[in-house]
Amino acid sequence: MKITGLLTDDAVLAELGGRIARRRIELQFTQAAVAEQAGIAKRTLERMEAGLTSQLATLVRVLRVLEAASGLDSLIPESGSRPMDFLKRKSKVRQRAPGRRAGKEIGAPWRWDEKP
């Protein structure tokens, strides 16, 4: 099944859990072995494979054990510069800091009666 935005949260979790279970079986790992290597309880992995909720850190640990953590990079692609951002920045040219103002010395004390 393809995961799309039209699926419910429960359907997405069930699909992800099934994929985790299939990957584990493909690598010929038992649930106990994966759980031990990931540093989680076997029951936690069972719940994850059943499509129940779990913590994001737990998912990352399990994916590392199953050699699938590199797939997380395509989950949410790193954002780069967009053409419109470039055009917006181009129209706003940075200005230099102003030079010394006439009659003002650097480090001169400020006074209340002084006008800007």
Give the range of the structural domain holding residue 57, as residue numbers without chain letter: 9-70
| The predicted structure's pLDDT at residue 96 | 67
In a domain, 94, yes or no: no
In a domain, 105, yes or no: no
* 60-64 mean pLDDT: 94
In a domain, 33, yes or no: yes
* 86-107 mean pLDDT: 63
Least confident interval from 37-46, 48-57, 76-85, 100-109: 100-109
4 vs 48, more confident: 48
pTM, entire model: 0.65
Predicted confidence (pLDDT) at residue 73 exceeds the cutoff of 80? yes
Side-chain half-sphere of 70: how many Cα atoms within 13 Å? 1
In a domain, 103, yes or no: no
In a domain, 30, yes or no: yes
How far is 36 from 42, CA to CA, in rounded Å?
Answer: 8
How far is 3 from 11, CA to CA, in rounded Å?
Answer: 9
Predicted confidence (pLDDT) at residue 83 exceeds the cutoff of 90? no
